[in-house]
Amino acid sequence: MLSVLLIVIAAIFFTGIIIRTKSLASGRKGPGILQPVRDVVRLFRKGVVYSETTSFVFQIAPTIYFASVVMAMLVVPFGQSRGVLSFNGDFIFFAYVLALGKFFSIIAAMDTGSSFEGMGASREALYSMFAEPAFFILMGSLALLSGHTSFQEIFSALHIGSQISYALAALATFVLLMIAMIESSRMPIDDPKTHLELTMIHEVMILDNSGFDLGLIFTAGYLKFAIYGALIVNLFIGVIPYEYAIPSFFAIQFALAVAIGIIESFMARFRMSHNPQFIVALTSVSLLIFFGVLLILQKFM
């Protein structure tokens, strides 16, 4: 339960901090940190406009997308405390329930009959497919290292001690961070602030959503960030008592948000055609982690 509470709190501020960082980096004052939340609240109060091309799929998709992200959130643990749902292989459920949301957001985009949204849908399907192996191999490596197969057991059994394990932790953080970026459609894969529909991925898929539905999609996006942030935090806090773990949770989430803001301020998005290569490289990094784990366990003898 604790993890859900923490993730929700982190989600409230996360996107605001990114936007604030970007404003400061570009020399503007920028909106308040709570502005994204205010936007969502306003959206929840608005009416909706549906395209006449769309069907029931378009109407139910944001709900399912949001529900899938909430379900994924329920699985994530916090250090010693389990997630609301915790069982052997829960990370498989985590990835697949997110895939449910993705499935619906893709077909909802196809439902509008717009060429732009079809383009976004195609990219989303392709990129998320490439990102998944990295996640599964990473979890496989951690499962091998810790001898467990659920999020909470894996994370609480991780001991970062030797030099190799420092390197592995750094790589794992990198992989998780990049997966978070891909899943939440941020730089360097996707640029949420681009003005041209042709170069968007996630933003273009939701062009026709409005009102309550758009609010749900935004909220799900904020939550997704905090969920992946929480996973990264979990890599490190393992057995640390709560009085240190909770502040470090927020510290790491804050650092993450600032880092994303800075990356997005000073970096350009990759060329679309280079994205798959980059994402496949991520799989290689996770394989590297796997072989590192084999090294630690001295399997090469």
Partner 1 sequence: MNLVIAFVMVPFAGMLLIPFLKVNAKGIMTFALLLINALLSGYFAIQSLLGEAMIFTLPGSYITGLIPIRIDALSGWFMLIINLIFVTGGFYALFYMKAYREQRNNLTLHSISFLIQHAAMISICVIQNSLAFLIAWEIMAIASFLVIIFDHEHIATIKAGINYLIQAHFSILFLMLGFIWVASKTGSYDFQAITSYTASIPGSASLMLFIFFFIGFAIKAGFVPFHTWLPYAHPAAPSHVSGIMSGVIIKIGIFGILRMLLVVKTDFISVGYIILLISTISGLYGVMLAIVQHNLKKLLAYHSIENIGIIGMGIGLGCVGVGTGNQVLATLGFAGALLHTLNHALFKSLLFYAAGNVYQATHTMDIERLGGIIKKMPQTAFLFLIAAIAICGIPPFNGFVSEFIIYTGFYKWLSDTTLVSLIAAIFAIMGLVLIGGLALLCFTKAFGVVFLGTERSPLPDSCREVPFLQLLPMYLLAAIIILIGLFPIAFINLLGKPVSLLTGTIALPLDAFQLNAFSALQPISRASWLLVLLIAGIYAIRKFALSHRKIETGTTWGCGYIAPTSKIQYTAGSFVRTYSKLFAPFLLIGKHEEEVHGIFPAEAKYHTHPYDKLEKWLIDSPLKMDKLFMGRFVFLNNGKLQMYILYGVLFILAVMSIPILYQTMQSFIEFLNHL
> Least distance (Å) from partner 1 to the CB of residue 107?
5
End-to-end CA distance of the chain: 43
Contact 128, 138 (CB under 8 A): no
Residue 259 contacts residue 174 (beta carbons within 8 Å): no
Structure tokens at 123: 């990219």
Phi, psi angle pair for 78, to nearest 5°: -135, 105
CA distances 78 to 10, 88, 178, 227, 297, Å, are: 13, 16, 21, 11, 26
Stretch that binds partner 1, among 1-9, 34-42, 104-112, 156-164 (CB under 8 A): 104-112
110 binds partner 1 (CB under 8 A): yes
Contacts of residue 53, defined as CB under 8 A and 6 or more positions apart, other chains included, come to: 111, 112, 113
Nearer to partner 1, 27 or 49 (CB): 49
Give the range of 30-38, 100-108, 175-183, 246-254 binding partner 1 by CB under 8 A: 100-108
- Among 26, 88, 162, 284, which residue interacts with partner 1 (rule: CB under 8 A)? 88
Q: Does 155 bind partner 1 (CB under 8 A)?
A: no
Q: Is 223 in the site for partner 1 (CB under 8 A)?
A: no
- Among 30, 31, 188, 211, indicate the residue that binds partner 1 (CB under 8 A): 211
CB of 65 to partner 1, least distance (A): 10
According to CB under 8 A, which one of 63, 194, 199, 265 is a site residue for partner 1?
63
Long-range contact pairs involving 189-195 (C-beta distance under 8 Å, separation at least 24): 189/127, 189/269, 189/270, 189/275, 189/278, 189/279, 190/269, 191/264, 191/269, 193/264, 194/269
- Closest by CA position to 175, among listed 142, 148, 219: 142
| CA distance linking residue 267 with residue 269, whole number of Å | 7
Subset of 246-285 contacting partner 1 (CB under 8 A): 273, 276, 283
Query: Which of these segments, 16-24, 144-152, 185-193, 246-254, binds partner 1 (CB under 8 A)?
Result: 144-152
Distances (CA, A) of 80 to 60, 91, 238, 247: 36, 16, 7, 15
Which residue number, 10 or 204, has a Cβ lying nearer to partner 1? 204
Stretch of 1-9, 15-23, 31-39, 45-53 lying at the interface with partner 1 (CB under 8 A):
45-53
195 binds partner 1 (CB under 8 A): no
For the segment 64-83, give every residue that binds partner 1 (CB under 8 A).
64, 66-68, 70-71, 74
Region near partner 1 per CB under 8 A, out of 17-25, 30-38, 85-93, 244-252: 85-93
| DSSP per-residue string spanning 183-201 | HTT-TTT--TT-S-GGG-S
Does 157 interact with partner 1 (rule: CB under 8 A)? no
Judged by beta carbon, residue 20 or residue 82, the one nearer partner 1 is 82
